[in-house]
């Protein structure tokens, strides 16, 4: 993932990762519902989990950390990274906490449907709000956040 970041647009890489993890989760839900009594179920779940991890660790994770380091202004970067890291770890805690509860109450297939829904929400959020930062200076990125483009001109004064 890190090697691709300078060759592929970061926003596209993030959206591709979310799409790939979503497809992996959908397939886990389908396979676990259709092959629930098959000896092949564990094999397919492991393969699809590896696919999920490949998209997550290869696309989402490196892009997230890079975007976080680029979107905060210098004077707020430490605080922004700290708050972001807290929420990333808190989200990990929530997944780990609720996964066994969901598994025991609604089963494997529907548990993964819940996570697919979360992925759809994350895709919509990233599609609407994640900026493209590749090839841009930190100053250009800040101007885009402030004015909607990197011209430095307030749209209200145009």
pLDDT band at residue 151 under the 50/70/90 scheme: low
How sure is the predictor about 113, in pLDDT bands with cuts at 50, 70 and 90?
very high
Instruction: Please state the pTM of the whole predicted model.
Output: 0.83
Say how far apart CA 138 and CA 69 lie, in whole Å.
10
4 is a domain residue = no
Q: What is the CATH number of the domain that holds 77?
A: 1.20.1250.20
Q: Considering the domain boundaries, does residue 5 fall inside one? A: no
Largest CA distance in the chain: 67
Tell me what percent of the residues of the chain surpass a pLDDT of 70.
91
pLDDT of residue 140: 79
C-beta of residue 98 within 8 angstroms of C-beta of residue 11: no
In a domain, 2, yes or no: no
As a whole number of angstroms, the distance between CA 70 and CA 54 comes to 24
In a domain, 85, yes or no: yes
What's the pLDDT band for 156 if we cut at 50, 70, 90? low
Lowest mean pLDDT among 43-47, 67-71, 106-110, 111-115: 67-71
Contact 123, 115 (CB under 8 A): no
Is 3 a member of any domain?
no
| 140 within some domain | yes
Count how many Cα atoms sit within 13 Å of the Cα of residue 158 in the half-sphere of its side chain. Answer: 8
Q: How many domains does the chain have?
A: 1
pLDDT score for 9? 87
**Is 31 within the bounds of a domain?**
yes
How far apart CA 8 and CA 1 sit, in angstroms, is 10
Range of the domain at 63: 10-157
């Amino acid at each position: 993932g890190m090697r691709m970041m300078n060759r592929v647009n970061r926003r596209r890489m993030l959206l591709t990762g979310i799409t790939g993890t979503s497809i992996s989760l959908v397939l886990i839900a389908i396979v676990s519902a259709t092959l629930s009594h098959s000896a092949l179920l564990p094999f397919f779940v492991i393969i699809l989990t590896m696919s999920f991890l490949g998209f997550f660790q290869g696309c989402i994770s490196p892009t997230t950390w890079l975007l976080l380091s680029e979107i905060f202004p210098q004077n707020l970067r430490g605080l922004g990274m700290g708050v972001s890291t807290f929420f990333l770890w808190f989200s990990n805690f929530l997944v780990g906490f609720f996964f066994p509860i969901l598994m025991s109450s609604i089963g494997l297939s529907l548990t993964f449907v819940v996570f697919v829904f979360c992925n759809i929400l994350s895709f919509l959020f990233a599609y609407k709000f994640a900026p493209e930062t590749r090839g841009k200076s930190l100053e250009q990125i800040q101007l885009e956040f402030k004015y909607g483009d990197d011209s430095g001109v307030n749209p209200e004064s145009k």
